[in-house]
Structure 1
């Protein structure tokens, strides 16, 4: 039986679209969300989120998810002035592409995750639209008449 989603309830509890866009970073020439950000959006702990991912690694090919290397993580950690006790990670973070984020939502299998995945996809689409060059309509040759032009004439 399909799960019905209360659109008004999900909009009320949905994160800000721009907030999701700000969490998307460019890493290895791919736009990705980190595991901590996805876990926060899906309202689960990062540990539980990564456990689910590790149990289902077959669902995440290299173009859906990859683990950051030590150098990439060192750059990320250097951006924070201080870390509180117990706030550092034992393991390197995972990075999820748009498709990986959708797959992760399927693993979480909750109404919240389903709702958030829609917003995540919209954020990736919004960023793609901003990065795309403007589309200009093709110029028609002089004297070229389309069927629509013929019906519009009196």
Structure 2
């Protein structure tokens, strides 16, 4: 599985937006989740709600059931995660000061664009058939 596919697998739809979890982004950026969230809090004016938001309890439960996750993924989930839209991911690269931040940002943006392109160029029937095969 290539890097683009790995990133796309970490993009979820929440509140009608494609987003990535703070913990997945922190891992990719090479920082702890708390360090990532602290950098965001220090730069709160750069992260309006259309760039990031915190999941509600209901959204967390829906996310867990949506991805049929194992206990290893939810282990350590003590707080409701923050999620970042494509714009939020780009903004993260400007507030995180790690050597890999720019490269990760570029890769994530490419993954968002590839998903958007696929969804707009694939017929609804093909998408429905693919979803049905995934459900099976």
TM-score greater than 0.5 by the shorter chain: yes
Aligned match for 2:71, one of 79, 82, 98: 82
Show the 5 A alignment for 1:1-154: 16-77=3-64, 79-82=68-71, 87-133=75-121
Contact 2:8 2:112 (C-alpha < 8 Å) held by counterparts: yes
C-alpha distance in structure 2 between counterparts of 1:124 and 1:104, whole Å: 15
| Bigger fraction of residues in helix | 2
Shift of 1:50: 0.9
Shift of 1:77: 4.2
Residue 132 of structure 2: aligned partner: none
Shift of 1:47: 1.1
Shift of 1:54: 1.3
C-alpha distance in structure 2 between counterparts of 1:124 and 1:42, whole Å: 17
Divergent runs of 4+, >4 A: none
Shift of 1:30: 0.4
Shift of 1:89: 3.0
C-alpha distance in structure 1 between counterparts of 2:49 and 2:34, whole Å: 21
C-alpha distance in structure 2 between counterparts of 1:127 and 1:18, whole Å: 10
Aligned pair count? 119
The 3 A distance-change label for structure 1 pair 55 and 71 is same
Shift of 1:81: 4.5
Gap runs ≥5 in structure 1: 1-14, 135-154
**If you compute each CA radius of gyration, which structure gives the higher value, 1 or 2?**
1
Gap runs ≥5 in structure 2: 123-136
C-alpha distance in structure 1 between counterparts of 2:106 and 2:71, whole Å: 34
